[in-house]
Amino acid sequence: MDRFQHYIDGRFEDGAATFESLDPARGTAWAVMPLADAAEVDRAVQAAERAFVQGPWPGLTATARGKLLYRLADLVQAAAPRLAALETRDTGKILRETSAQIAYVAEYYRYYAGLADKIEGAHLPVDKPDMEVWLRREPVGVVAAIVPWNSQLFLSAVKLGPALAAGCTVVLKASEDGPAPLLEFARLVHEAGFPPGVVNILTGGPDAGRALTSHPLVAHIAFTGGPETARHIVRASADNLARVSLELGGKSPFIVFDDADLDSAANAQVAGIFAATGQSCVAGSRLLVQDSVKEAFLARLKAKAEAVAIGAPDRMETEVGPLCTARQRDRIVDLIARSVAAGARVITGGRAPAGAGFYFPPTILDCSDAPEAPALNEEFFGPVLSVRSFATEAEALALANDTAFGLASGVFTQNLTRAHRMIRGIRAGIVWVNTYRAVSPIVPFGGHGLSGHGREGGLAAALDYTAVKAVWLRTSDDPIPDPFVMR
């Protein structure tokens, strides 16, 4: 079997322990992975702290940091086929998606490479005649970046890119479910020439996560994952009072009005819920469709769902591959059973196939007569779509906001004024109108409520990794007249 290593302080090393990673398409072990303990996490954080305060990194100009990120972007682009193949093998994500996504990840590093020397301070026109005051933006310090297995190279780029551009150092913890591509990515970091300790990459379970998020030298925690883990992270961060940014799950509404282009909306809905086998935080998992077009739209969706090519994830013709873990599949089966018991109707799919691998077919559940069905409120993280109908725009908006999540949403209508009303009314960090799942390094990404807080992408993300320092310079040569009076 293949073997992978941690990357700590510029060196590759075996973990304190190891585990076997499973191939989700076959359900069999294919690689040996390192598993970090608290001592390894501490060494990684100590290395990041040393790199932040001494050595070449703090002395580099912002332009020089940008050049390193440009170099990393080029290496990622060149290595995209190898990284894509590893991600597909270790997570079951289909090759046609990993190939396209990882090639685009390079653009995120390029964006932040160009932004590195454009993080500016400001001069303040204060009300003191003998003072010059300005603000400096300085890196916060060591960043703990924790990412899940799905889209891990993308979810790392939106943390590493801005953190490194701002001048921070990073300890990146990959998920123990499918960490191969990130452990391989460490070789590109090394080849790009980042000084030792600036980027450290390891994998581990909950113990490693707790050791990292509670470490006294960690200044900022950037986490992508589920709300329950996020709660543990927030509690752990109380020990070090680190800043925390959370990009969590979603139960995103996909709203189709009766004047929408139904063919276009159906294609977007298929991409929004069945792409990535539904294992996406922005999956459009709650279809809200107007009564008058419900049956026509569901007929389109059913035909498209049943025509999806399910198969081995390493075949380019495959459109839906396996889930990452058997644990996920079992949870989906349980949620569907409970939803059907609550009155939901299975339109298509709904049963795990026999045979090897963690496969589950595209599934549509009509919950119009089952408002209490778990499918409407709980995140499946799989290829399962719940459906409800509505009569009016006001009802559509109420249903869209009837969730504790607030990450993404989609609105399909040809009515421009209605689109603007929905944009204003939907409580979500992202609103896509007549499209879905579009992303760009220029655009902030994030939500609120159980979907977390903070943003990734765009200038705002880089500023999140800085602290503002106010500098006062007295320009008068006269003695300070009264030391007991604030001036």
Residue 25, domain CATH: 3.40.605.10
Q: What is the pLDDT of residue 486?
A: 75
Q: Is residue 487 part of a domain?
A: no
C-alpha to C-alpha distance for 280 and 283, rounded to whole angstroms: 5
Q: Is residue 447 part of a domain?
A: no
Closest residue by Cα to residue 269 from 429, 436, 155? 436
147 with 268, same domain? no
Please identify every residue annotated as catalytic: 247, 281
Rounded to a whole number, what is the distance in angstroms from the first to the last CA of the chain? 69
Closest residue by Cα to residue 163 from 175, 154, 152, 171? 171
Pull the structure tokens for residue 394: 């006001």
Q: Are strands 169-174 and 142-146 parallel, antiparallel or unpaired?
A: parallel
Spatial contact of 126 and 229, defined as CB atoms under 8 Å apart: no
**Domain tally, the chain:** 2
342 with 223, same domain? no
CATH code (residue 295) = 3.40.309.10
Q: What is the pLDDT of residue 366?
A: 97
Spatial contact of 300 and 262, defined as CB atoms under 8 Å apart: yes
212 with 337, same domain? no
347 with 228, same domain? no
Q: What is the pLDDT of residue 239?
A: 85
Q: Is residue 440 part of a domain?
A: no
Q: Is residue 427 part of a domain?
A: yes
130 with 275, same domain? no
Which residue reads 């190891």 in tokens? 18
171 with 262, same domain? no
265 with 228, same domain? no
293 with 341, same domain? yes
Pull the structure tokens for residue 63: 């332009």
Which H or E run includes 113? helix 95-115
| Residuewise pLDDT in 10s, the chain (487 residues) | 899 999 999 999 998 899 999 999 999 999 999 999 999 999 999 999 999 999 899 999 999 999 999 999 999 999 999 999 999 999 999 999 999 999 999 999 999 999 999 999 999 999 999 999 999 999 999 999 999 988 899 999 999 999 999 999 999 999 999 999 999 999 999 999 999 999 999 999 999 999 999 999 999 999 999 999 999 999 999 988 999 999 999 999 999 999 999 999 999 999 999 999 999 999 999 999 999 999 999 999 999 999 999 999 999 999 999 999 999 999 999 999 999 999 999 999 999 998 889 999 999 999 999 999 999 999 999 999 999 999 999 999 999 999 999 999 999 999 999 999 999 999 999 999 999 999 999 999 999 999 999 999 999 999 999 999 999 999 999 999 888 887 6
Closest residue by Cα to residue 10 from 44, 56, 33? 44
The SS3 call for residue 322 is coil
Identity of residue 226: G
243 with 263, same domain? no
Burial of 441 (0-12, 13-18, 19+ CB in 10 A): buried
Q: What is the pLDDT of residue 387?
A: 98
Read off the pTM: 0.94
Q: What is the pLDDT of residue 482?
A: 87
155 with 211, same domain? yes
Q: Is residue 445 part of a domain?
A: no
Q: Is residue 439 part of a domain?
A: no
Burial of 377 (0-12, 13-18, 19+ CB in 10 A): middle
Closest residue by Cα to residue 414 from 261, 185, 235, 303? 261
Task: Write out the residue range of the structural domain in which residue 228 sits.
Answer: 2-247+457-471
C-alpha to C-alpha distance for 20 and 34, rounded to whole angstroms: 9
385 with 305, same domain? yes
DSSP state letter for 314: T
The SS3 call for residue 361 is coil
Beta bridge partners, 111, equal none
47 with 151, same domain? yes
